[in-house]
Amino acid sequence: MDMRFTEAEEAFRAEARAWLEANVPHGLPSGDTHEGFALHVEWEKKLFADRWSVVSWPEEYGGRGASLWEWLIFEEEYYRAGGPQRVTQNGIFLLAPTIFEFGTEEQKARFLPRMAAAEDLWCQGWSEPDAGSDLAGIKSRAARDDAAGGWVINGQKTWTTRGAFCNWVFGLFRTDPEAARHSGMTYLMVPLDAPGVTVRGVERLDGDEGFAEVFFDDVFVSDELVLGGVNNGWGVAMATTSSERGLTLRSPGRFCAAADRLVELHRRLAATGEHPERVASLREAVAQAWMEAEAYRLATLADVSGLVEGVSQGARSSLTKIFWSELDVNLNETALRLLGPTAELIEGSAGAIDDGAWMKAFEFSLSGPIYAGTNEIQRNVVAERVLGLPRK
Amino acid sequence: MRFAFTDDQLMFRDAVADLLANECPPEKVRWSWSDDNGRDPQLWSALAAMGVIGLTAPEAGGGLGMNEVDLLPILTEAGRAALPAPLLETTAVVVPLLAESAPDALAATWLPDLSDGSAIATISLEGQPFVVDAHIADLLVAERNGSLFAVPGANLRLTPQASVDGARRLFTAEWDEADAELIASGDAAAAAVALAFNRGAVAAAAELIGMAERMIAMTVEYVVARQQFGVPIGSFQAVKHHLADAELKVSFARPMVWNAAYALANGEPGLDRSVSMAKCFASDAAEVVARKALQCHGAIGYTTEHDLHFWLKRSWALAASWGDAGWHRRRVAALLLD
């Protein structure tokens, strides 16, 4: 057991920290509105310009070839410096690993550099009105058009995060309606400006237009937009969902930084001397939230120690997903309890502490136990595939 | 960075696990409940012969000269077996304390005998109301008025205190300073006491992890075999979610305990915080797992005919020893907020 990083890794940290401290924007509006999204894309382009947008990717696609450890270090520094959530995350953290694993050389060259540069902005098309937790129940169809060399899509996707702002969607479509439930699906990449695509923004719980419905009416996509082979979509998609549940979407840096801010909030409120009973009664809750972030950081170090030696997380990634999503809710709930009656004040209210950021973060955190496979589904996965309980 | 055990550490663990599977099955724990003395000298000798008891003693003291990280997987196995023996007190706490803080002659008197299993030690710090296994202890290391003393077992006046865990033996102990030898006083004693407490807390946390893992394994086995409504009860989602919650608790307590052992072994800054995080999470995890395990066992788990209660009761006891979750959470709060 050796919990020290190497000199080279520490040098990487120092370089990342210096750059981030000089460049991270503060006070950006939410990236889940039209105006905010554009500003976030500007920030993403700046990250890319100095090769910080996808540090773990090979240099030829815009990265630095950084190791998994360096990627964790970068994430820690990114959130410590106050960096905003990445509006490119569905592309760089979810689609990209799938392209690296299943994509052709042409697909890699075509999509990865533009994704790294925030030229293409990707959203994810999994859920449909009648297929949420039961993802294999999707109905959107892609019918073969041999003459044109491609597929004609009809159907609807929903809860598509930032769908109203992106220009590409990736998702699963049924290409063999006769096949069994988990077969006959194909992973397709679809330009949102293709004829026949209609995108309708949907206001989320927090009031931002962060969701969208995407309608497909005879939308043609050519064969080179098939990822991982026709009718192989389920296996290809599962590779992506384990990225979503596990490490790549939710590195510990974000939660550790939020936990530090919670500690700072408690200290700040205690220093005012106001509402001493409330502030004092929440000391243990603040400590608990901070410890949960720390537990997540340490569990990640253990997981990555295994990964670099070839031990994959497998179904244990479901434990990871449950833990980070529930710690995030708990952390933000604790902050709201600290704020008491001012907790309900939102952005722009004169009396709001931290400009309503805690309520905003709380509302956002409530999505965690729902998306990427609800925590009820994750608990089933843990019971069946980690512990070995019978499916039926 | 490598946050994992070495192959050697895991091989040692596996050897101890094999020994405990043979020498300390649940029948041994059951025997320990009913036997007057409740302690098996042969089991202790077998552990000593393997090097387990003297693991933390320097080689000059007849030990293996290993550290808290080496010891951790073995303590977890002790918890998994509900070992009725003072491994925590002797090996995790007293042996390193004597090696570091006792005058040379005193250390030389005790360490070889402790390492080879011919002597047994236990510990009593101020604030700890009971002494574990004082009835078989040849040596008590005790804190009194800020000093640390070595008290021979023969000089103790003991009053038994019955624990809910019938395999645990607790005592209140009286002794006279005239019958004891000074180990350390003043700042040296304070530092030794602080370190001993942290070691005890991490060792208890390590045992709690092993107990929780065992309770989960027993419960999985039960809910797969037990049929109701014509199917295994483990196929019901309510049961699955109880067990998933149990696994979740242990999975995120475990790295906290590793981290605390690493902090002890390497004298890392922020030691108190690391230790308290570990004990807080391990205590909480074991209590949750115990509840889930009992619930999923149903009525059979509510009997003393079934073995489950050995682990339930030991986990209640250890969760509250060496600082319970609330005590450690408050210590973390003070370190973060004051």
pLDDT of residue A248: 59
How distant is the Cα of B243 from the closest Cα of chain A, in angstroms? 7
Chain B CB contacts of A245 under 8 Å are: none
Average pLDDT over residues B96-123: 98
pLDDT of residue A31: 92
pLDDT of residue A250: 76
User: Which of B6, B234, B255 has the CB atom closest to A299's CB atom?
Assistant: B255
* pLDDT tens digit at each of 392 positions of chain A: 999 999 999 999 999 999 999 999 998 999 999 899 999 999 999 999 999 999 999 999 999 999 989 999 999 999 999 999 999 999 998 899 999 999 999 999 999 999 999 999 999 999 999 999 999 999 999 999 999 999 999 999 999 999 999 999 999 999 998 998 889 999 999 999 999 999 999 999 999 988 999 999 999 999 999 999 999 999 998 876 666 555 555 789 999 999 999 999 999 999 999 999 999 999 999 999 999 999 999 999 999 999 889 888 889 999 999 999 999 999 999 999 999 999 999 999 999 999 999 999 999 999 999 998 899 999 999 999 999 999 98
Chain B CB contacts of A322 under 8 Å are: 244, 248
User: Which of A6, A319, A389 has the CB atom closest to B240's CB atom?
Assistant: A389
Nearest C-alpha neighbor of B337 from the set A27, A267, A209, A304: A267
Contact B281 A286 (CB under 8 A): no
> Which amino acid, one-letter code, is at B147?
S
CA A287/CA A293 separation, integer angstroms: 10
Q: What is chain B's mean pLDDT, rounded?
A: 98
How distant is the Cα of B197 from the closest Cα of chain A, in angstroms? 20
Q: What is the pLDDT of residues A196-222, one digit of tens each?
A: 999 999 999 999 988 999 999 999 999
User: Which of A290, A298, A390 has the CB atom closest to B234's CB atom?
Assistant: A390
Q: What residues of A are annotated to the active site? A: 244
Tell me which residue has tokens 């000059």.
B60
Chain B CB contacts of A384 under 8 Å are: 240
Q: Which residues does residue B231 pair with via DSSP β-bridges, in sequence order? A: B228
Q: What is the pLDDT of residues B141-176, one digit of tens each?
A: 999 999 999 999 999 999 999 999 999 999 999 999
Contact A287 B258 (CB under 8 A): no
**CATH 3.40.50.920 matches B193-337:** no
Q: What is the pLDDT of residues B256-302, one digit of tens each?
A: 999 999 999 999 999 999 999 999 999 999 999 999 999 999 999 99
Most B CBs within 10 Å, among A266, A305, A387, A392, to test the B interface: A387
Contact A387 B337 (CB under 8 A): no
Q: Where exactly are the structural domains of chain B?
A: 193-337
* pLDDT for residue B75 is more than 70: yes
Contact A387 B244 (CB under 8 A): yes
How distant is the Cα of A206 from the closest Cα of chain B, in angstroms? 29
CA A325/CA A323 separation, integer angstroms: 6
Chain A CB contacts of B237 under 8 Å are: 376, 380
Q: Cα B126–B128–B134 angle (5° rounding)?
A: 105
Which sign, positive or negative, has the C-alpha torsion B180, B182, B187, B193?
Answer: negative
Contact A2 B256 (CB under 8 A): no
Greatest Cα pair distance, chain A, in angstroms, is 75
User: Which of B220, B252, B266 has the CB atom closest to A389's CB atom?
Assistant: B220
Contact B258 A323 (CB under 8 A): no
CB pairs under 8 A between A and B: 146
Chain A CB contacts of B223 under 8 Å are: 389
CA B170/CA B133 separation, integer angstroms: 6
Average pLDDT over residues B61-74: 97
Model ipTM over 0.90 = yes
Contact B4 A291 (CB under 8 A): no
How distant is the Cα of B279 from the closest Cα of chain A, in angstroms? 12
> Closest-CA residue in chain B for A7?
B1
Most B CBs within 10 Å, among A262, A291, A319, to test the B interface: A291
Chain A CB contacts of B265 under 8 Å are: 1
Q: How sure is the predictor about B326, in pLDDT bands with cuts at 50, 70 and 90? A: very high
pLDDT of residue A219: 98
* pLDDT for residue B101 is more than 60: yes
pLDDT of residue A247: 56
> Which amino acid, one-letter code, is at B116?
D
Contact A387 B216 (CB under 8 A): yes
> Which amino acid, one-letter code, is at B202?
V
Chain A CB contacts of B247 under 8 Å are: 319, 382, 386-387
How distant is the Cα of A389 from the closest Cα of chain B, in angstroms? 6
What is the distance, to the nearest Å, from the Cα of residue B257 to the centroid of all Cα atoms in its chain?
A: 12
Contact B255 A302 (CB under 8 A): yes
Contact A387 B333 (CB under 8 A): no
User: Where are any strands of DSSP class E within chain A?
Assistant: 122-125, 141-145, 150-157, 168-174, 185-191, 197-202, 211-222, 226-227
DSSP per-residue letters across A223-292: GGGEES-TT-HHHHHHHHHHHHHSTTT--HHHHHHHHHHHHHHHHHHHHHT-SHHHHHHTHHHHHHHHHH
Chain B CB contacts of A290 under 8 Å are: 332, 336
Give yes or no for a contact between B83 and B107, defined as CB atoms under 8 angstroms apart.
no
User: Which of B5, B255, B329 has the CB atom closest to A288's CB atom?
Assistant: B329
Contact A298 B234 (CB under 8 A): no
* pLDDT for residue B123 is more than 80: yes
Contact A298 B255 (CB under 8 A): yes
Chain B CB contacts of A392 under 8 Å are: 231, 235
